[in-house]
Amino acid sequence: MKKLNVFWTLNAQSDLKEIIEFVKIDSLNQAKRIFEKIKAESLKLTEFPNLGRTIPELDRYNLTNFRELIVEVWRIVYTQKEDGIYVLSVIDSRRNLEELLFNKLFKD
């Protein structure tokens, strides 16, 4: 089975940067650990693109092409396309997820 590439969208990169900047205020070491953990988990998708679950908030709308990996309190939202895996967003699960997902995934 061919390994897939994982691409981080600008939106997802921005989300991750915001998370790291926020955590870094209290602890640079914690920020580094979180960054490395999120990146490592996303790289697992190169071999196991269906590793994550479908997103419960989107399932009821039959939007099952979006999946997520849970890393501590963050949800890594991604989708698979022919040329690879696209990480779309990294969301804090303590926030209103349905509203955030729709704003991020369907804002265009």
**Residue 11 contacts residue 88 (beta carbons within 8 Å):** yes
- % of the chain with per-residue pLDDT over 70: 88
Please check the confidence at residue 106 and state whether its pLDDT lies above 70.
no
98: which 2 tokens? 């349905």
Element (H, E) at 6: strand 6-8
The pLDDT mean for the chain works out to: 89
Please check the confidence at residue 96 and state whether its pLDDT lies above 80.
no
Q: Please give the domain boundaries of the chain with CATH numbers for all domains.
A: 6-105 (3.30.2310.20)
Residue 70: name the closest of 95, 42, 46, 47 by CA: 42
Residue 77: name the closest of 1, 33, 95, 25 by CA: 95
Residue type, 34: I
**Residue 88 contacts residue 78 (beta carbons within 8 Å):** yes
Q: What is the pTM of this model?
A: 0.85
